């Protein structure tokens, strides 16, 4: 693309290009040159909007975290409706979409990115997965307050179990797991607290 030509929503164009590279080629292939080539823009465009490539990647992760915050609102709104298993199954399937799984791999692979992300986060842990765990724990606490799971449920530990198992299921699969496979994991992890609320 010639220099001096205005690019509509260049930041989003660069984010979309980075996500395509992550999905197609993995975290190791993500470079500033690859992103600008994929986006079809001049090499300098990325540096016009971001201080350096790690700043770009940090904002890419931040964009994913913003989507996760929206999902958390939706999940909390589902408390008391449907079934706990159904709500969690849907949440995990949405959470671990292919881009999110690739972004987690990117965060794990890049030390400088993790360091940069931790500077601006109030909570410890691996970015994306930690926020996802908080989302699930808050939802479970709401269900606990509504009497739909056992009153003494350890919602933080349940959330960690669900996030860990969900990530392994989606990240390790050659094909995306179906709803039934996700539901089996959710049912296994939550069976005790769901059954005991009936006692």
- The CATH number for 18's domain is 1.10.10.60
Mean pLDDT in the chain?
Answer: 91
* 68 and 12 inside one domain: no
Q: Could you say which DSSP state residue 80 is in?
A: T
* 107 and 138 inside one domain: yes
* 165 and 126 inside one domain: yes
Which residues, other chains included, contact 43 with Cβ-Cβ below 8 Å and sequence gap of 6+? 32, 33, 36
* 142 and 190 inside one domain: yes
Which residues, other chains included, contact 7 with Cβ-Cβ below 8 Å and sequence gap of 6+? 1, 13, 41, 45
* 27 and 125 inside one domain: no
Contact call for residues 56 and 46 (beta carbons, < 8 A): yes
pLDDT level of residue 59 (50, 70, 90 thresholds): very high
Q: Report the distance separating Cα 192 and Cα 180, nearest Å.
A: 19
* 87 and 5 inside one domain: no
Token reading at 99 = 């881009």
- The CATH number for 59's domain is 1.10.357
Last residue of a domain, one of 49, 70, 86: 49
Q: What is the pLDDT of residues 65-93, one digit of tens each?
A: 999 999 999 999 999 999 999 999 999 99
Which residues, other chains included, contact 17 with Cβ-Cβ below 8 Å and sequence gap of 6+? 35, 36, 38, 39
Residue 104 pLDDT > 90, yes or no?
Answer: yes
Q: Report the distance separating Cα 99 and Cα 104, nearest Å.
A: 9
Query: What confidence score (pLDDT) does residue 147 get?
Result: 94
* 106 and 189 inside one domain: yes
DSSP states of 85-120 as a string? HHHHHHHHHHHT-HHHHHHHHHHHH-HHHHHHHHHT
* 106 and 8 inside one domain: no
* 68 and 158 inside one domain: yes
Helices 129-145 & 84-95 angle (0-180, nearest 10) = 170
Name the domain count of the chain: 2
* 36 and 57 inside one domain: no
Between 77 and 6, where is the model more confident? Answer: 77
172: exposed, middle or buried (Cβ count in 10 Å: 0-12, 13-18, 19+): exposed
* 29 and 41 inside one domain: yes
Q: Could you say which DSSP state residue 27 is in?
A: G
* 41 and 99 inside one domain: no
User: In which domain, by residue range, is 135 found?
Assistant: 53-196
pLDDT level of residue 5 (50, 70, 90 thresholds): very low
């Amino acid at each position: 693309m010639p220099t001096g030509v205005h690019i509509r929503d260049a930041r989003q164009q660069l984010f979309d290009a980075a996500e395509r590279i992550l999905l197609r080629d993995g975290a190791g292939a993500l470079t500033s040159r690859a992103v600008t080539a994929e986006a079809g823009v001049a090499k300098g465009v990325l540096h016009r909007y971001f201080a350096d490539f790690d700043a770009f990647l940090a904002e890419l992760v931040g964009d994913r975290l913003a989507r996760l915050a929206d999902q958390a609102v939706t999940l909390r709104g589902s408390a008391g409706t449907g079934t706990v298993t159904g709500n969690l199954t849907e949440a995990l399937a949405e959470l671990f979409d292919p881009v999110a799984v690739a972004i987690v791999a990117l965060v794990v692979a890049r030390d400088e990115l993790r360091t940069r992300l931790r500077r601006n986060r109030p909570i410890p842990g691996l970015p994306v997965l930690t926020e996802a765990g908080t989302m699930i724990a808050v939802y479970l606490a709401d269900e606990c307050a509504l009497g739909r799971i056992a009153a003494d449920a350890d919602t933080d530990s349940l959330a960690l179990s669900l996030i860990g198992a969900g990530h392994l299921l989606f990240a390790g699969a050659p094909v995306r797991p179906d709803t039934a496979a996700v539901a089996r994991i959710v049912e296994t992890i939550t069976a005790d607290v769901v059954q005991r609320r009936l006692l």
